[in-house]
Structure 1
Amino acid sequence: MTFCTEVRQQTDAYWQASFEHPFVKGIVEGTLPLENFKYYMLQDAYYLKHYTKVLALAAAKAEHDEDIQYFLRTAQMIHDAELELHRTTFATLGVTEEEIAQFQPAPAAYNYICHMYQTVHNEDVPAAFAAILPCPWLYVEIGQLYKAYKPSEPLYAQWLALYSSDDFLHMLDGQKNMMDRFATQHPKRDELAHHFMKSCYYEWQFWEMSWTLQNWTEGVYPYELTSHL
């Protein structure tokens, strides 16, 4: 059994929770309140900005030219495709410069980024790749699973079209082959699986964060924290 097949099976509960999450279902069915989508896009733009930095750090640590080129190409692709989607969506949603300037990452987004930075700084390149792979993999699976859906909200249709595209599906095949190559040569396969699992958890938490409009003052303690701030 390949590493990717194994970790995909081990973490399936997180994947199924993502597929059936009301936030995801709200996008593909066109019923998600735009307030939640706006919140998500702001958090996701923050995440992707740091994701590209993690890719650049991985490129700096990589020893083989093909791996260096992959990390750099992927960072550029995210900048050109996904972040462009965010820019056009911000305009449609009326996101102001003031909102962007005052933006604060929610706990789940912040924790996810910290996990990836910790891995790329303190572990090797295969471990860093195991931590960043669940993101594109999950989005492609969501795109393929709901490819036939036609959400009435244009922003949601655009989002689904991006992640169900053949380009993303083809890219994922190469990413999984790369991960399997890393795992075959790695002395601590279980540690790679652990980094992968953590990111699967955080992917699920990202939907939950966006569904509940998570912030730093609500739902943290059993008493009314906001009255003390």
Structure 2
Amino acid sequence: MSQAGAPQSAFVLHSRPYKETSALVDLFTPEGRLRAVLRSARGKSGSQARPFLPLEIELRGKGELKTVARLEPNGIPNLLHGDVLFSGLYLNELLIRLLPAHDPHPALFEHYALTLQALATGRPLQPLLRTFEWRLLDELGYGFALDHDVQGQPLVAEVWYRLLPESGLEAVDHLQPGLFLGRDLRALADADWEQPTTLATAKRLMRQALAPHLGGRPLVSRELFMNLKEPPRA
């Protein structure tokens, strides 16, 4: 039997039943996103393999699909409820959908851990979500400047811009759907969340920036949240 590897920090992003008593768990570690088999998932380890709980794990195996040799809590649980819970599930789904397997992102891992802590302590949701989306895009090489356009010119407050996902913001001379005002983009670049239009601008901008990388499949966490918010039918 192969020996277990070195201990590492981790969070469970998602888990599902596997064979009779095991589970397949998607893990996020400083060394990247990976999938592993958790045996005896109905026992103590299974109860600890839940999202948002800081863990220390050891993995065993030589192939791509490894086995969890040890899994223990490694910090204070981040207790998420209501809208905050759906926000955490949204972050997890983004990581599963966008982050390549076995691609180390230690800075993103640290930012994720801090974001969960902030969510659990009741910090405002929208700035946390938008900041995480931006950090994720930047880590994956899809980031773009928020203070100047694709020509390298500083953004002008009264000029309208469109997002070119592969290159950045481009000034336009006629109105069309999906544009952003330079003033709002500059407030976003300064993380000035006090401006009433900054949050709405950030949400639209991040949706446009994420869409090409998510493909045509909708986000399950977003659909669940929207269904929960819909009033019951008579």
- The structure richer in helix per residue is 1
- The structure richer in strand per residue is 2
Under TM normalisation by the shorter chain, which class is it?
under 0.3
Instruction: Between the two structures, name the one with larger relative contact order (CA 8 Å, sep ≥ 6).
Output: 1
**If the length of structure 2 is used for normalisation, what is the TM-score?**
0.24
**If the length of structure 1 is used for normalisation, what is the TM-score?**
0.24
